[in-house]
Amino acid sequence: MLDHILPHFDIKDKQKICILQTTNKEEIFNAINNSGLEAICHVDNNGKLIGISCDSDLRKDPKSLINKNPQTIYEGSSQVALNREYIPVINEENILKSVLYRPKEQVLRLAQVPKKITIVGIGYVGLTLAIAFAKNGIEVNCFDKNVDLIEKLKNKVLPFFESGLQEAFEVSFHNLNFHSSIEFFDTENIIVTVGTPLKNNKEVDLNYLYDAINQIFQSKNCKHLENIILRSTVPVGTCCELEKYTKNKFAKNVNFVMCPERTIEGKAIEELSTNPQIIGTSSIKAASVCFKLFNVLTDKIYISNNPAFAELAKLGDNTFRDMTFAYSNFIAFTAQELNIVGSDLIEVMNNNYIRNNLAKPSPGVGGPCLSKDAFIFKKGLDNCQISVNNGFILNGRIQDDYVIKALSQKISDHCSSLGKNKISIAGLAFKGFPETSDIRDSSTLKLIENLSKSLKFSIFDPLIKDPSIINKYNLISFDEFCQSSAVLIIMTNNSIIKSQDWNLALKKLSPRALIIDGWGVLERLNVAVEYDLIYKKL
């Protein structure tokens, strides 16, 4: 089913939406049929609106063929709450500029489900989406310039861990084609999922996105291309900018559609079929194609006639979550200063009080989305010159910086007080639930960067299998973990970390070692009394 169509599409093709004033039934009939709409506008030689004719008017008296007093809307006016399906848009001189048209559901269903698509960028977002489509019978050309990654995937080796992903990969493998050259694409629809990281100055880096777009348009198969669907997180206004860019540079009109990825790592395959999919495009044809494509995965689809709607939704989602977690951490660290356990405080604040749903506090908020999307959000608003309090959306990032600095200071101070320089860290991935091996922008990495270079650290994270990461960050087995460490900090809460024999590990710590339990993993143990350790929950 189609959940919702947001508001009218704006049809600007004058040849399709208007004719010179006429009472010739055949001319009106043909014009309506050619437009694909249920009405046609009549204009004079100067382009001024005279009236409209609907299909039903053709069965009326010839004198009533033209409705000379139709509902209209001025160019630039709000389209919210318009109750007609077909509305001419005029300027102050009554010149017809376009037509607002709200398509019926069957119009969107006219498109066929694409039998084959291309996905550019086979990172986490691209690969999980490719597997989901392939599992539902769509052939997917997967392109990534990382040759090693492509070779691994050809040999059925996934680059990261996610529960259930290997099984889905095996089932769908026959519908997946992996290439390191863009020349292999020959589809009308391309989905772009390349990264949009932050530079050192916190400015969004769109070079990967523009490089991908340039490669697509320089390919010999570009002549078949109709729609580019963005899943990458981008500043508000990017789709419109890309349409202008490609039209000017390559003299080709292609629809840029924003269909944001909104899954949580660890449950992507499941959530692609349960989460609503937002589609933002000014093209009815592109909306129809994307509706049919994503309807293969979910029946919860929301369509807007403005790509910025979908761009803003994606940024709004992640920035909201970032600020929510930041507020819980603010409460928890405020409580700590008053010798109150912040996690206990938040639990009581939530308990049997329906207006509260505060998140659990955590030792930082990381990951490839929440750690950067607020900056991308602000950049887009700055570019649009919107007069709102843009700085407000960075509050979550400011609080996260404080959390990491506060933790690193506690660790350094305690090591100094004991005259020791060894610390143990449980968890390198950016989160523990749902379980993942993804270390991008993890809070542990931020913590390490903030710690004094004189401190030595060892890390336990059983989900990390990449030898280069294991060597770089000194990952060790749990048997070796905690040996003679002055500080133990638990940074993630995955089930394997929680299920370890912590009694053995705690005995290996130095006397009076500090434990910072970021997730309450050890709260079941009487740590301070039985082990002569200093135990702190957030």
Q: What letter represents residue 62's amino acid?
A: P
The stretch 61-73 carries a mean pLDDT of: 87
Q: Does 211 score more than 70 pLDDT?
A: yes
Taking only the tens place, the pLDDT of each residue in 236-274 is 999 999 999 999 999 999 999 999 999 998 899 999 999
Q: Does 493 score more than 60 pLDDT?
A: yes
Q: What's the pTM? A: 0.88
Q: Could you tell me if 214 and 222 are in contact, meaning their C-beta atoms sit under 8 angstroms apart?
A: no
Q: Which band of pLDDT confidence, cut at 50, 70 and 90, is reported for residue 5? A: low
CATH topology of domain 397-537: Rossmann fold (3.40.50)
Quote the pLDDT of residue 530.
83
More confident residue, 161 or 59: 161
Q: Could you tell me if 327 and 358 are in contact, meaning their C-beta atoms sit under 8 angstroms apart?
A: yes
Report the distance separating Cα 34 and Cα 11, nearest Å: 13
Q: Does 203 score more than 70 pLDDT?
A: yes
In the chain, % of residues over pLDDT 70: 99
Taking only the tens place, the pLDDT of each residue in 72-103 is 999 988 877 788 889 999 999 999 999 998 88
Which residue pairs from 339-347 have beta carbons closer than 8 angstroms and sit at least 24 positions apart in sequence? 341/537, 341/538, 342/537, 342/538, 343/520, 343/537, 343/538, 344/537
Q: What is the dihedral of CA 151, 156, 158, 163, to 10 degrees?
A: 170
Q: Which band of pLDDT confidence, cut at 50, 70 and 90, is reported for residue 346? A: very high
The stretch 438-443 carries a mean pLDDT of: 94
Q: Could you tell me if 231 and 257 are in contact, meaning their C-beta atoms sit under 8 angstroms apart?
A: no
Quick one: which of 417, 403, 419 has its CA closest to 489? 403
Would you give the end-to-end CA distance of the chain in angstroms? Answer: 45
Inter-CA distances, 344 with 209, 217, 336, 356, 491, Å? 44, 56, 11, 14, 18
The stretch 379-396 carries a mean pLDDT of: 83
Report the distance separating Cα 519 and Cα 521, nearest Å: 5
Enclosing H/E stretch for 141: strand 139-143
Q: How many CA atoms lie within 13 A of 136 on its CB side?
A: 20
Q: Which band of pLDDT confidence, cut at 50, 70 and 90, is reported for residue 1? A: very low
Quote the pLDDT of residue 110.
76
Q: Where are the domains of the chain?
A: 4-101, 116-305, 397-537
Q: Does 118 score more than 50 pLDDT?
A: yes
Q: Which residues contact 526 (CB under 8 A, 6 or more apart)?
A: none
Q: Which band of pLDDT confidence, cut at 50, 70 and 90, is reported for residue 37? A: confident
Taking only the tens place, the pLDDT of each residue in 174-200 is 999 999 988 777 899 999 999 999 999
Is there a common fold for 4-101 and 397-537?
A: no
pLDDT averaged over every residue in the chain: 92
Taking only the tens place, the pLDDT of each residue in 273-318 is 999 999 999 998 999 999 999 999 999 999 999 999 999 999 999 9
More confident residue, 460 or 161: 460
Strand blocks (E) in 197-251:
227-230
Report the distance separating Cα 283 and Cα 240, nearest Å: 12
Quote the pLDDT of residue 291.
93
Is the peptide bond between 276 and the residue preceding it cis, with omega within 30 degrees of 0? Answer: no
Dig out the tokens for 212 from the structure: 């991908």
The dihedrals phi and psi of 189, each to the nearest 5 degrees, come to -125, 130
The stretch 120-146 carries a mean pLDDT of: 96
Taking only the tens place, the pLDDT of each residue in 442-489 is 999 999 999 999 999 999 999 999 999 999 999 999 999 999 999 999
For strands 73-74 and 86-90, give the pairing: parallel
Homologous superfamily (CATH) of 4-101 is CBS-domain (3.10.580.10)
Which CATH entry fits the domain spanning 116-305: 3.40.630.10, 3.40.50.620, 3.30.470.30, 3.40.50.720? 3.40.50.720
